[in-house]
Amino acid sequence: MSEMNPFKIAQQQLDEAARKLGLDPATHELLRWPMREYRFTLPVKMDNGQTRIFHGYRVQYNAARGPTKGGLRWHPDETIDTVRALAAWMTWKCAVVNIPLGGGKGGVTCNPKEMSEGEKERLSRAYIRAVARELGVHRDVPAPDVYTTPQIMAWMMDEFEAIYGESHPGVITGKPIALGGSEGRGDATARGGVYVVREAAKKIKLDVSKASYAIQGFGNAGQFAATLHREILGGGKLIAVSDSRGGVMSKSGIDPSAIVKHKLETGKVEGFPGTTPVSNSELLELDVDVLYPSALEGAITGANAGNIKAKIVCELANGPTTPEADAILHKNGILVLPDFMANAGGVTVSYFEQVQNTYNYYWSMADIDQQLDRRMTDAFEAVYTTRERAKVHMRLAAYMVAVTRVAEACKLRGWV
């Protein structure tokens, strides 16, 4: 079904912003497509002595505002269209938080859960051998994403440095701290999201210290959102959480630290004491003040958007809301904090890592939190102001801010 093709959704969202902005046809058409995309065939020797062939991708969507930046996903269902869509969203994400980078994304079609550490290392190095000449701190900088880790980034950086015979820590971000990784990267996506929830709550006069919240998806971002919501906002009641296996809820509240500990120890949220089961779809429709969709794309659709009761929806996942759902949520007065603004804390701290690597001086955690807070707050203000002025929903407003910035850079360069 084409409506669920992520790249078609990304183009549809851009088209709407282009119409609203009155973008000229050439600029609009330029921004609808990646400027460069690469596909690689990667032969990798497996532990059993056989060679398996993997397919890899790297899309550099737009570099008008600076080197392209974006994660690297390892997933059995990875396709060029997923990677294209995510590279487009990275372009708008970097622009909306006003960092001097373009958007990129990479992927390998594989199932890392079935691979040994040695096999993952050989795949990491094979990928870099294929793409090394297209990467660099002034060209394109990958980072971890779905099923890739700081260790995988370490192997990739090492392979890049082996090829060039020089130290290049800034070629890749999300590295272990010992190899030039940045403080604050682990919780950056969730932290940035909670900062924009704080700003959104001020606009709708919601007392966040007493607000209830629920989290769909309990990986890295979801777990940090559970604890940071309470820490940064000075309170709040966690009502429900879910992961791919199912969910739990309690109207009297769930201890965020305890549920995170349970998930880390058992690998699931099910069975947490004092809770009742709730499905992923039921969780989305609970009567809570703040909803954090933190799983995969397409969770909120035209079919269930009318049942969403939250006042604020903070998208920590990429693409959790379809265009049809956006219109319904907006009509119902629900403030959606769109993914490429709400979850931009990750790329922002990745950018900080790149900066620190480049001038070989490292910041404190306090510096990083302060800089992140400022950028997320400024991004929210720019988007909310556009929403009020143009009378559009928040995602369209975020697109308008981002597309205006990228279009201006393309025009100044003389591309269009």
Which residue has tokens 């007392």? Answer: 207
Q: How far apart are CA 162 and CA 139, in angstroms?
A: 18
209 to 13, 168, 279, 381: CA distances (angstroms): 34, 44, 26, 21
Helix axes of 394-413 and 6-21: crossing angle, nearest 10 degrees: 80
Judge whether 97 and 347 are in contact, CB under 8 Å: yes
State the alpha helices, DSSP H only, in 97-144: 117-131
For residue 345, how far is the Cα from the chain centroid? 8
How far is residue 213's CA from residue 287's CA, in Å, rounded to a whole number?
9
Element of type H or E holding 109: strand 102-109
105 an active-site residue? yes
Place of tokens 């370490």: 154
The 3-state DSSP class for residue 248 equals strand
Report the SS3 class of residue 38: strand
Radius of gyration of the chain (CA): 21
Task: Kindly write down the DSSP assignment for every residue of 4-22, as one continuous string.
Answer: G-HHHHHHHHHHHHHHHHT
Residue from 182, 185, 184, 160 nearest 171 by CA: 160
Give the Cα separation of 307 and 271 in Å (integer).
27
Of 108, 283, 135, 303, which is closest to residue 212 (Cα–Cα)?
A: 283
Quick one: which of 132, 71, 137 has its CA closest to 100?
137
Secondary structure letter of residue 65 according to DSSP:
T
Tell me which of 69, 93, 105, 237 is the catalytic residue. Answer: 105
* Catalytic center residues: 105
